[in-house]
Amino acid sequence: MTAWIADYVASCPVCAIYKAPRHQPYGLLQPLAMLEWPWGSILLDFIEGLPLSTGYDSILVIVNRLTKYAILAPTNKMVTVEQTAVLLWRHLVRCFGVPDHMVSNWGKQFISKVWKEFARIMGAKHSLSMAYHPQTDGQTKWVNQVVEQYLQMYCNYQQDDWAKLLHMAAFVYNNTVHTSIGILPFFACYGWNPKAHPDIPQQLGVNNPKHPEYLVNGDKCCKYLQEQIRVAQCRMVDQYNQKHKDIKFKVSDLVYINHKNWKTNRPMLKLDTRFAGPYLVKEQVGHRAYCITLSVNLRVHDVFMCHCSNW
């Protein structure tokens, strides 16, 4: 009798859509695949909403996933797909070649057919982050925060000179030891440390006797970076998974979906349901995502991370 009551309460449809979940968040961490060469995979994102500075109000952020080297290109929020492609060629391809893999969010520049054709012509695979799941390209979010903090501290009172400071912000970021790899992104990319000030002598290493060896051996440097990133990924997985709970669904399962990012017809979100459904699981996509059969009137992407609940 007790088990039946517990099962009945757990499957209550009203409780399922209204009550706040008290369990650990669902979904374990799934790191991106390891890289084979320094510029094999990049992350793309935009910093938007900046005040106008010499005609610019946004920044295109390009991050190398292996060396953590960042490229910052000033632009504006009305930038087209074609202009974004030109920025990529001007700031990335002409210096480091064509990447094998690009990861970005669902920005309007990255979901168009023109961008898909551009990636196909380059021979680069383009992956989009999951909807409402910014952890996929979290590295760029971290770089964005660092760049924004720098510009906040050093721009003038009118905030109209940040574009002139952008090249210095990129230099400062790339000339700071990255915790994931233990060395400067600049050193990881070029094999030597830049001279930052005329009164400070140039150093070949940053508390690491192996650095001079990497100046003449790019393969060893690449293997070193891969090992450092692998260790950092293991550390992040352990920390993340301690506070999250694994859950798996099968095809034809019924699930509830958190719809906090959806627009509904009800007057206020405060008194609205927390979850929508139940919906049918149509297909598993990758390790942690599922394709859901949604209502035809919902204009929402039908692939969700495993932040769902069983029916």
Residue 52 within any structural domain of the chain: yes
End-to-end Cα distance, the chain: 21
Residues 107 and 189 in one domain: yes
Residues 124 and 226 in one domain: yes
Residues 64 and 120 in one domain: yes
- pTM score, whole prediction: 0.73
**Would you state the structure tokens that stand for residue 10, as one six-digit string?**
């757990």
Residue 16 within any structural domain of the chain: no
Alpha-carbon dihedral angle through residues 74, 75, 81, 83, given to the nearest 10 degrees? -80
Q: Which of 210, 241, 272 is the C-terminal boundary of a domain?
A: 241
**Which residue has better confidence, 91 or 270?**
91
**Would you state the structure tokens that stand for residue 207, as one six-digit string?**
């508390």
For the purposes of burial, counting CB atoms within 10 Å of the CB of 285, is it exposed (0-12), middle (13-18) or buried (19 or more)?
middle
Residue 32 within any structural domain of the chain: no
Rounded to 10°, the helix 162-174/138-154 angle is: 130
Residue 8, sorted as left (phi over 0), alpha (psi -120 to 50) or beta, turns out to be alpha
Domain extent, residue 174, equals 41-241
Q: How far apart are CA 278 and CA 300, in angstroms?
A: 16
Residues 55 and 147 in one domain: yes
Residues 169 and 193 in one domain: yes
| Digit-coded pLDDT (tens) for 133-168 | 666 666 788 888 889 998 998 888 888 999 999 998
Mean pLDDT of the chain, nearest integer: 80
Q: Are 284 and 292 in contact (CB under 8 A)?
A: no
Residues 192 and 270 in one domain: no
Q: How far apart are CA 149 and CA 308, in angstroms?
A: 35
What is the mean pLDDT of the segment spanning 278-298?
80
For the purposes of burial, counting CB atoms within 10 Å of the CB of 204, is it exposed (0-12), middle (13-18) or buried (19 or more)?
middle
Q: How far apart are CA 32 and CA 66, in angstroms?
A: 11
Residues 60 and 93 in one domain: yes
| Digit-coded pLDDT (tens) for 218-233 | 566 666 666 766 776 6
Residue 46 phi, psi dihedral angles, 5° rounding: -120, 140
Residue 231 within any structural domain of the chain: yes
Residues 130 and 269 in one domain: no
Q: Which of 241, 264, 289 is the C-terminal boundary of a domain?
A: 241
Residue 172 within any structural domain of the chain: yes
Q: How far apart are CA 182 and CA 208, in angstroms?
A: 9
Instruction: Give residue 216's pLDDT band: very low, low, confident or very high (50, 70, 90).
Output: very low
Number of domains in the chain: 2
Residues 236 and 256 in one domain: no
